[in-house]
Amino acid sequence: MVIKPSKLVAGDTVGVIAPASPPKPGPLKKAISFLEELGLDIKLGKSVHKKYGYLAGYDEERIEDIHMMFKDHEVKAIFCACGGFGTGRIASRLDYTLIRENPKIFWGYSDITFLHTAIHQQTGIVTFHGPMLSSDIGLSDVHNLTKKSFEQLFQSKDIVYTNKLSPLETVVEGMASGPVIGGNLTLSVSTLGTPFEVDTKGKILFIEDIDEEPYKVDRMMNQLKMAGKFHDACGIIIGDFKNCVPEKRDQSLTLDEVLKEHISDAGKPVLKGFKIGHSSPSIAIPVGSIGRMDTHDQTFIVETGISEDNDK
């Protein structure tokens, strides 16, 4: 059963947590001001400003923040401050019954992909693969479409992605319809062999990544292919692969060669060129909502991820 969280309205309280790495204070402060401009009140998690190596506090502290925000009936949405590293460490220790009984907007991407996959597959709640607070909204120059992505939390409109947003390319022709799943390629691969292994059966899989050379992307794509994830999917959306270039170009396959070789074999419809992920603009996508893709007119439409109900 798919559960769509309630929409936001001005005056709602939202939580800000750091379930992976610690955010930079300056950009986070700027991003919080943006949320306040949307009419939202902010409640910070206890570990947001903590540091434990490359983590925002000990595992127990980050887990406590997640549980606290889902349990708090005043909090209507949970925004992750940044990605980085560490969400895979805590996924097996989350209380998914608590989360299922308190559905609310959960927003972020990159390392947060592990939590999107785990939460949606364990609870049925639609989550949001959307731009980060400190690492996107907190930048000095933020694309207007990145900011506009937050509007989908206040009004139940389908997300319509066409060539008007970015040039799209058909890799394999066809049409597909099904729940949308995926996110960061590295994190999706890291779910394999765990209780939270990404399930792509009958679903539209979307992937994106950053700073990974083609040989590393090759290795990860091959692992997903051998695990049957491309074969099981009904369609594939290729998002942004920022800075995924070879250090030695004359000794490397291109990123396009790697992506196409592994995906095309599955024979499923594939579109590429989406500004989803580590990109500017960064377009938010509801994870778990029904998507429809058509390579003939190069469109990708995803149903709204929110319910019109608001129990404020």
CATH classification at residue 137:
3.40.50.10740
Between CA 70 and CA 94 the distance in angstroms is 11
Task: Provide the pLDDT confidence category of residue 60 given band limits of 50, 70 and 90.
Answer: very high
Please tell me whether residues 139 and 178 are part of one structural domain. no
Residue 312 pLDDT more than 70?
Answer: no
Tokens representing 289 are 């909502």
Q: Which of 95, 128, 153 is the last residue of a domain?
A: 153
Please tell me whether residues 128 and 222 are part of one structural domain. no
Quote the strand ranges of the chain, DSSP E.
Answer: 13-17, 41-44, 75-80, 105-108, 127-129, 159-161, 169-172, 175-184, 204-210, 235-242, 270-272, 285-287, 290-294, 299-302
> Is pLDDT larger for residue 11 or for residue 312?
11
Residue closest to 269 by CA, chosen among 227, 225, 206, 210: 206
Please tell me whether residues 169 and 85 are part of one structural domain. no
Strand, helix or coil for residue 80: strand
Query: Percentage of the chain surpassing pLDDT 90?
Result: 95
Please tell me whether residues 297 and 243 are part of one structural domain. yes
Report pLDDT digits (tens) over 264-305. Answer: 989 999 999 999 999 999 999 999 999 999 999 999 999 999
Mean pLDDT of all residues in 53-58: 98
Question: Does residue 24 belong to any structural domain of this protein?
Answer: yes
Average pLDDT, the chain: 96
Question: Does residue 58 belong to any structural domain of this protein?
Answer: yes
Mean pLDDT of all residues in 116-129: 98
Mean pLDDT of all residues in 13-31: 97
Task: Provide the pLDDT confidence category of residue 310 given band limits of 50, 70 and 90.
Answer: low
Q: Which domain holds residue 246?
A: 159-302
- The answer to whether 130 touches 108, Cβ cutoff 8 Å, is yes
Please tell me whether residues 149 and 167 are part of one structural domain. no
Residue with tokens 């129990």: 311
Question: Does residue 273 belong to any structural domain of this protein?
Answer: yes
Q: Which of 90, 123, 153 is the last residue of a domain?
A: 153
CA distances (Å), origin 79, targets 56, 199, 202, 272: 15, 24, 29, 27
- The answer to whether 293 touches 299, Cβ cutoff 8 Å, is yes
Question: Does residue 20 belong to any structural domain of this protein?
Answer: yes
Show Cβ contacts of residue 256 under 8 Å, excluding neighbours closer than 6 positions. none
pLDDT of amino acid 309: 74
What is the gyration radius of the CA atoms in the chain, in angstroms?
18
pLDDT of amino acid 247: 83
Between CA 5 and CA 304 the distance in angstroms is 10
Mean pLDDT of all residues in 103-117: 98
Task: Provide the pLDDT confidence category of residue 25 given band limits of 50, 70 and 90.
Answer: very high
Question: Does residue 310 belong to any structural domain of this protein?
Answer: no
Question: Does residue 179 belong to any structural domain of this protein?
Answer: yes
Task: Report the CATH number that the domain containing residue 229 is assigned in CATH.
Answer: 3.50.30.60
Q: Where in the sequence numbering do the catalytic residues fall?
A: 110, 208, 278
Quote the strand ranges of 123-203, DSSP E.
Answer: 127-129, 159-161, 169-172, 175-184
Largest CA distance in the chain: 59
Q: Which of 153, 183, 201 is the last residue of a domain?
A: 153
Count of the separate structural domains present in the chain: 2
Please tell me whether residues 163 and 140 are part of one structural domain. no
Please tell me whether residues 27 and 65 are part of one structural domain. yes
Please tell me whether residues 123 and 175 are part of one structural domain. no
Please tell me the pTM assigned to this model. 0.96
Please tell me whether residues 167 and 230 are part of one structural domain. yes
pLDDT of amino acid 246: 87
- The answer to whether 127 touches 94, Cβ cutoff 8 Å, is no
Please tell me whether residues 111 and 228 are part of one structural domain. no
Task: Provide the pLDDT confidence category of residue 311 given band limits of 50, 70 and 90.
Answer: low
Question: Does residue 296 belong to any structural domain of this protein?
Answer: yes
Please tell me whether residues 145 and 173 are part of one structural domain. no
Between CA 188 and CA 115 the distance in angstroms is 10
155 DSSP 8-state letter: S
Residue 252 pLDDT more than 70?
Answer: yes
Question: Does residue 146 belong to any structural domain of this protein?
Answer: yes
Please tell me whether residues 131 and 176 are part of one structural domain. no
Report pLDDT digits (tens) over 166-213. Answer: 999 999 999 999 999 999 999 999 999 999 999 999 999 999 999 999
Residue with tokens 């794509």: 221
Report pLDDT digits (tens) over 61-89. Answer: 999 999 999 999 999 999 999 999 999 99
Between CA 125 and CA 297 the distance in angstroms is 30
- The answer to whether 184 touches 176, Cβ cutoff 8 Å, is no
